[in-house]
């Protein structure tokens, strides 16, 4: 395609190719320089014209259209300041593109810029050092604060809208209705408690025989509001089998897992128990029950409510078992063929119709299942009390109670939403990072970097000098004398752990002396992190300690000893660019350490750091430019 | 304690001695144990090779010798000697008061009681019109309108170079407080008092505006203390147009005519003498103590010039001893 450019677009001037580095040697003889999109980020090569040879690019994952932000960034390079009156941008559209896509690309917005402001100890210390330094002012005037302030009007509007909506819902006899509502909530929770106790594996396991009728909850589709009647929306099914769940969670109780199997809820008809490797007591494990009941599969694959029988949730969702019946029916062994299943379900409906008047007899928890916990009895008594209250309640008799309750529920939900948005607003108006600021100051005081009246101590002055690596850990290392009696190359290798942020998959372990030094570094890091945790800074001690990696210790050690670059690339598997970046950052840290050593008056250490700089600052790693 | 500065009779000497003895006994024992003089050996575990040897120490024949007179401080593995009586050693962030000694091409040389004069660059000072811009040659030629030789200025140490030369800057509002004639804090109505620099400790605040007395006190970390008249900052809008056309640096005639009130002058003198008393006695100079002495002298109706006399100094010493023994 380089040839194509040359032919179709005849002009003179540098040309920036969009495709990552497809260098075409034929082009190089002409005035066209080819480059990739990295040139557009801002290397100092002014250009009059920018030519896009493709409108698609490969971003490492897939071939996609150019985004508007990228287009803006790259086309903005056209035109040399002070020399060209205008810059020219040529977009070679080599394939069919929808007008809407093209419009988005050319007229779209640039990538949004979100503040990534964060507090650092170095920043804090330097602020405290100056008499005029007010960290709170810095936070208040930061871009982060500005962006979060901007979000406030929209949140306010939302709150207003929701409040209007809430106030428009008018219900008669609202107070007594609220009372009733809360009673219903209590009733439900108690019933759930009772169910939890009754259906813990301890009590119900002996009763989960194949053929027992079980009462399960109907599923609801998303549009339905929760029902508020005292009656439960349930239906009946037949237990086929049950299995122990090999789960990592140690929960009691069990779930009924459904699986789409045409119209029937079914799981594997595995008749064997799952043998649990861990020696968990049978009572404590979780179980799944295979239940045969009717469901309907909708087009989307989910289940929908039918008129008569059971809708069921999608596969894998737990249902609530309401009660076990004392009736067992005989079921055939093989339930795969649909006729067998249909037959079984016919038997179930027959049972239901036979007992339609009194209701299907249930297993009584106390008598049959021998539930004997006191909490169960307490819960049962409270339920009975509540039930009597329901009958006496005045509102219970009023018509349309169900709808009124639903409206009330909706109102409560709106109120909850309003509350959460208000909370969000409050956190926006409050100064971002304020708590973190206080916590970090506490850390500095605890570690002795600042005195109690916020005057910077000597340790703090040392930490002020360090900005390219973790200042607290490094200062602790300096003051613990680790750098004093080790060789220069070892010191450089140790410092490399502080500037290397990537995670290498299979890094080789460094040699023993370096390993020891690294352990000392981790020790200091852990100490620092613990103090931070105590002062309520959000930090994970182990994460922090393991963020320092010894992956390039060997390579940097070799570099400091004088090896050539290709030799150290054989030691380690990292990218060349990453290694060079790390070594350059290391040199920055060393320069800062020289200043720090000077401020504490340790001339030996200072000369050691200077020697280290001389040892690593050489050759290709520190070459200013590879081209010139 | 510069005893030669004040004349005491016998009883006063005894009282003073008693007060000082009380204070000595109250001070922490560990500090006096850690004091060393030149060529003293510093007790340190020499087998430990990770000891960091800081300022004022020297490794001689395998032993750690002190090169200063001072107190041995230990922070983790760092051992250094903090000298008590020395010239001011500048540190970044310190607020200092200094006297201009030289006007050079693009900078002022300022005497700050250190080993080298401080350097105040022209660019480190807010430009007269307040705009952030490059300093032109016209600005350089007008330097004298801002600060001349023998002017007293206040500044902050921006950084310290390798040879301990302080680079100063006076950019913030505080140092460049807007007065009614120029943009800078002209320290010309008051007293500059030289005290030993170790009596002024680094604090959170060094500028103290005492509105009720109309006095501004600046405790410079370098031992130069300024006690002067507090000029109320006039609102910028009220500036006369004619004043602005003079060019930023010139002083208007108003300044010449403005006279300080008698009461303010008395306050300035009283506070200055309070500072002098503290310096004579060798006590730390903080605003609270200064104000205490000020109140004491007023309540006892001590004449201003009598404050430097023997009786008042002894009184102050006794008061201090009493106060500290009560804490």
Q: What is the DSSP letter of A536?
A: T
- Does the pLDDT at position A248 exceed 60? no
Residues 6+ apart with CB under 8 A from B305: B273
- Which residues of chain A make contact with B202, given a CB cutoff of 8 A? 455-456
Residue A221: pLDDT band with limits 50, 70, 90: very low
Of A354 and B277, which is predicted with more confidence?
A: B277
Would you call A131 and B80 a contact, using CB atoms and an 8 Å cutoff? no
pLDDT at B21 over 90: no
Q: Would you call B52 and A605 a contact, using CB atoms and an 8 Å cutoff?
A: yes
Specify the residue for token string 């598997």. A573
Dmax over CA atoms of chain A, in Å, equals: 99
Query: How far is it, in rounded angstroms, from Cα A311 to Cα A265?
Result: 10
pLDDT band at A115 (very low <50, low <70, confident <90, very high): confident
Lowest mean pLDDT among A69-83, B13-27, B111-125, B163-177: B163-177
Cβ-Cβ contacts under 8 Å, B53 against chain A: 601-602, 604
**What is the band of A180 on the pLDDT scale with cuts at 50, 70, 90?**
confident
No. of helices (H) and no. of strands (E), chain B? 9, 15
Mean pLDDT of chain B: 80
Is the interface score ipTM higher than 0.85? no
Report residue A612's pLDDT band, with 50, 70 and 90 as the boundaries.
Answer: very high
Q: Out of A132, A454, A485, name the one closest to residue B49 (CB).
A: A485
Residue A395: per-residue pLDDT: 63
Among the listed ranges A95-99, A162-166, A237-241, which one has the minimum average pLDDT value?
A237-241
| Residues in chain A closer than 8 A to B204 (CB atoms) | 131, 453-455
Does the pLDDT at position B182 exceed 60? no
Average pLDDT over residues A481-498: 92
pLDDT, residue A125, reads 93
Residue A316 or residue A556, greater confidence: A556
Opening angle at CA B273, ends B267 and B274, nearest 5:
90
Q: How confident is the model at residue A430 (pLDDT cuts 50, 70, 90)?
A: confident
* Per-position b or e across B32-55, b if 16+ CB within 10 A of its CB: eebebeeebebeeeeeeeebbbbb
For residue B97, count other CB atoms closer than 10 A to its CB.
Answer: 25
* Torsional class of A157: left (φ above 0), alpha (ψ -120 to 50), beta (otherwise): alpha
Q: What is the nearest CA distance from B147 to chain A, expressed in angstroms? A: 23
Residue A131: what pLDDT?
A: 77
Tens-place pLDDT, residues A453-479: 888 999 999 999 999 999 999 999 999
Q: In chain A, whose CA is at the least distance from the CA of B56? A: A601
Give yes or no for B156 touching A (CB within 8 A). Answer: yes
Res. B252 pLDDT band, cuts 50 70 90: very low
pLDDT in tens, A129-154: 887 778 888 888 888 888 888 888 88
Structure confidence at residue A262 as a pLDDT band (50, 70, 90) = very low
Among the partner residues B50, B174, B204, nearest to A482 by beta-carbon distance: B50
Query: What are the DSSP calls for B196-252, one per residue?
Result: -GGGS---S--EEEETTTTEEEEE-TTSEEEEEE-PPPPPGGGS-HHHHHT-TTPPP
Tens digits of per-residue pLDDT, A285-294? 556 666 666 5
Examine the pLDDT at A266 and tell me if it is beyond 70. no
B93 part of contact set with chain A, CB < 8 Å: yes
Task: Please write the tens of the pLDDT for every residue from A9-25.
Answer: 444 444 444 333 223 33
Q: Any idea how long chain B is? A: 327
Contact: B52, A478; criterion CB under 8 Å: yes
Q: What is the pLDDT of residue A532?
A: 94
What the block records as the tokens of A165 is 């909506």
- The pLDDT assigned to A609 comes to 95
Mutant choice from A129, A132, A478, A486 vs B, greatest count of B C-beta within 10 A: A132
Rg (CA), chain B: 23
Please determine, for residue A493, whether its predicted confidence score (pLDDT) is greater than 90.
Answer: yes
pLDDT range class, residue A31, cuts 50, 70, 90: very low
Tell me the pLDDT band of A35, cut-offs 50, 70 and 90.
low
Instruction: Provide the pLDDT confidence category of residue A588 given band limits of 50, 70 and 90.
Output: very high
Task: Please count the other Cβ atoms lying within 10 Å of the Cβ belonging to residue A370.
Answer: 11
Nearest Cα neighbor of B291 from B205, B176, B213, B175 is B213
3-state secondary structure of A255: strand
In the prediction, which pLDDT does A394 show?
Answer: 65
Residue A223 has pLDDT above 70, yes or no: no
Q: Regarding predicted confidence, which is higher, A360 or A607?
A: A607
The CA-atom distances, in angstroms, between B289 and each of A217, B28, B319 are: 79, 20, 11
**A516 has a chain B CB within 8 A of its CB:** no
Residues 6+ apart with CB under 8 A from B232: none
CB contact under 8 A, A129 and B206: no
Question: What's the confidence (pLDDT) of residue A385?
Answer: 83
Quick check: B13 contacting A, CB < 8 Å?
no
pLDDT band at A40 (very low <50, low <70, confident <90, very high): low
Cα–Cα distance, B167 to B234 (Å, whole number): 30
Average pLDDT, chain A: 74
Please state, as a whole number, how many other Cβ atoms lie within 10 Å of the Cβ of residue A358. 7
Residues of A in contact with B203 (CB under 8 A): 453, 455
> Across residues A238-261, what is the average pLDDT?
47
Least confident of A186-190, A570-574, B89-93, B273-277: A186-190
Contacts of A455 in chain B (CB under 8 A): 201-204
Residues of A in contact with B205 (CB under 8 A): 131
| B residues 231..290 contacting A (CB < 8 A) | none
The residue in chain A having the minimum alpha-carbon distance to the alpha carbon of residue B161 is: A595
- The alpha-carbon gap from A458 to the nearest alpha carbon of chain B, in Å, equals 9
Q: What percent of chain A has pLDDT over 90?
A: 20
Tell me which of B76, B161, B165 to substitute to probe the interface with A (most A C-beta atoms closer than 10 Å). Answer: B76
Mean pLDDT of B119-148: 84
- pLDDT at residue B247 in the model: 40
Q: For residue A292, list its beta bridge partners.
A: A238
Confidence at residue A466, expressed as pLDDT on a 0 to 100 scale: 93
- pLDDT at res. A80: 84
| A482 interface with B at CB cutoff 8 Å | yes
Grade residue A281 by pLDDT with cuts at 50, 70 and 90.
Answer: very low
Contact residues on chain A for B56, CB-CB shorter than 8 A: 601
- Rounded to an integer, the average pLDDT of A549-558 is 90
**pLDDT: which is higher, A392 or B86:** B86
pLDDT at A535: 92
What are the pLDDT digits (tens) for B186-212?
677 888 999 998 899 888 888 888 888
Does the pTM surpass 0.80? The reply is no
Q: How many CB pairs under 8 A join A and B?
A: 74
Cα A352 to chain center, whole Å? 48
The reported pLDDT for the residue numbered A302 is 33
Phi, psi of A560 (to 5 degrees): -65, -30
pLDDT digits (tens, 9 = 90+) for B39-71: 888 887 777 778 888 888 888 888 888 888 888
In this model, does residue A98 exceed pLDDT 50? Answer: yes
């Amino acid at each position: 395609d380089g040839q194509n450019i040359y032919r179709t677009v005849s002009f003179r001037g540098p040309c920036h190719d969009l495709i990552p580095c497809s260098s075409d040697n034929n082009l190089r003889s002409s005035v066209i320089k080819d480059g990739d999109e990295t040139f557009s980020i801002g290397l100092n090569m002014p250009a009059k014209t920018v030519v896009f040879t493709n409108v698609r690019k490969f971003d490492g994952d897939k071939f996609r259209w150019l985004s508007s932000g990228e287009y803006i960034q790259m086309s903005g390079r056209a035109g040399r300041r002070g020399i060209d009156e205008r810059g020219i941008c040529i977009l070679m559209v080599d394939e069919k593109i929808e007008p809407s896509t093209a419009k988005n690309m050319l007229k779209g917005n640039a990538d949004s810029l979100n503040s990534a402001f964060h507090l650092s100890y170095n920043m804090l210390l330097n602020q405290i050092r100056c008499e005029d330094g007010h960290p709170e002012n810095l936070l208040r005037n930061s871009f982060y604060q500005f962006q979060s302030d901007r979000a406030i009007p929209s949140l306010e509007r939302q709150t207003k809208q929701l409040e209007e909506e809430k106030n428009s819902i008018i219900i008669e006899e609202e107070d007594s209705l609220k009372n009733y509502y809360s009673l219903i909530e209590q009733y439900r929770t108690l019933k759930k408690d009772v169910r939890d106790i009754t259906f813990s594996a301890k009590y119900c396991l002996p009763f989960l025989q194949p053929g027992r009728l079980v009462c399960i909850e109907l599923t609801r589709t998303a549009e339905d509001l929760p029902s508020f009647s005292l009656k439960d929306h349930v239906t009946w099914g037949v237990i086929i089998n049950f299995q122990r769940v090999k789960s990592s969670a140690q929960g009691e109780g069990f779930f009924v897992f459904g699986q789409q199997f045409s119209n029937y809820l079914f799981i594997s008809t595995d008749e064997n128990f799952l043998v649990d490797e861990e020696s968990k007591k049978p009572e404590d494990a979780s179980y799944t029950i295979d239940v045969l009941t009717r469901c309907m599969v909708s087009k989307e694959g989910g289940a929908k409510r039918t008129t008569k029988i059971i809708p069921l949730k999608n596969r894998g969702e737990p249902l609530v078992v309401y009660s076990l019946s004392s009736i067992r029916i005989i079921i055939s062994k093989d339930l795969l063929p649909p006729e067998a299943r249909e037959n079984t379900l016919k038997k179930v409906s027959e049972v239901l119709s036979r007992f339609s008047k009194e209701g299907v007899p249930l297993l009584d928890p106390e008598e049959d299942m021998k539930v004997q916990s006191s909490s169960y009895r307490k819960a049962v008594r409270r339920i009975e009390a509540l039930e009597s209250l329901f009958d006496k309640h005045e509102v219970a008799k009023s018509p349309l109670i169900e709808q009124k309750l639903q409206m009330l529920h909706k109102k409560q939900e709106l109120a909850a939403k309003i509350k959460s948005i208000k909370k969000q607003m409050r956190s926006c108006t409050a100064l971002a990072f304020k708590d973190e600021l206080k916590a970090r100051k506490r850390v500095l005081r605890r570690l002795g970097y600042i005195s109690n009246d916020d005057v910077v101590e000597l340790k703090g002055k040392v930490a002020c000098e360090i900005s390219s690596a973790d200042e607290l850990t490094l200062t602790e290392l300096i003051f613990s004398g680790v750098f004093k009696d080790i060789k220069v190359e070892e010191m450089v290798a140790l410092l490399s752990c502080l500037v290397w942020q990537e995670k290498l998959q299979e890094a080789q372990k460094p040699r023993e002396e370096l390993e020891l030094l690294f352990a000392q570094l981790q020790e200091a890091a852990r100490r620092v992190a613990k103090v931070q945790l105590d002062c309520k800074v959000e930090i994970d001690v182990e994460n922090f300690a393991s963020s320092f990696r010894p992956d390039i210790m060997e390579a940097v050690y070799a570099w400091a000893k004088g090896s050539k670059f290709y030799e150290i690339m054989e030691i380690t598997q990292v990218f060349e660019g990453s290694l060079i970046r790390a070594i350059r950052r290391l040199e920055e840290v060393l320069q800062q350490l020289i200043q720090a050593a000077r401020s504490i008056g340790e001339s030996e250490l200072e000369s050691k750091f200077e020697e280290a700089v001389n040892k690593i600052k050489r050759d290709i790693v520190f070459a200013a430019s590879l081209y010139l | 304690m510069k005893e030669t500065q004040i004349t005491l009779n016998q009883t006063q000497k005894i009282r003073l001695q008693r007060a000082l003895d009380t204070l000595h006994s109250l001070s922490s024992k560990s500090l006096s144990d850690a004091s060393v003089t030149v060529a003293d050996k510093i007790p340190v575990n020499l087998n430990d090779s990770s000891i960091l040897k800081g300022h004022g120490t020297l490794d001689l024949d395998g032993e750690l010798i002190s090169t200063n007179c001072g107190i041995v401080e230990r922070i983790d593995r760092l051992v250094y000697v903090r000298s008590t009586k020395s010239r001011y050693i500048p540190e970044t962030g310190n607020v200092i008061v200094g006297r201009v000694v030289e006007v050079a091409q693009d900078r002022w040389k300022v005497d700050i009681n250190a080993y080298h004069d401080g350097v105040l660059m022209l660019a480190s000072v807010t430009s007269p019109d307040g705009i952030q811009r490059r300093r032109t040659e016209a600005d350089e030629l007008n330097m004298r309108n801002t600060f001349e030789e023998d002017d007293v200025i206040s500044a902050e140490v921006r950084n310290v170079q390798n040879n301990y030369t302080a680079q100063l800057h006076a950019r913030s509002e505080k140092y460049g407080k807007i007065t009614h004639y120029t943009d800078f804090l002209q320290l010309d109505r008051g007293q500059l008092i030289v005290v030993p620099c170790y009596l002024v400790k680094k604090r959170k605040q060094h500028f103290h505006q005492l509105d009720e007395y109309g006095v501004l006190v600046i405790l410079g970390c370098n031992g130069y203390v300024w006690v002067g008249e507090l000029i109320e900052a006039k609102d910028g809008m009220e500036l006369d147009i004619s004043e602005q056309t003079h060019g930023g640096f010139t002083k208007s005639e108003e300044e010449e005519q403005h006279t300080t009130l008698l009461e303010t002058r008395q306050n300035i003198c009283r506070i200055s003498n309070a500072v002098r008393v503290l310096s004579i006695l060798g006590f730390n100079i903080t605003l609270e103590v200064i104000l205490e002495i000020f109140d004491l002298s007023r309540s006892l109706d001590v004449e201003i010039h009598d404050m430097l006399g023997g009786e008042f100094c002894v009184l102050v010493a006794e008061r201090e001893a009493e106060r500290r023994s009560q804490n």
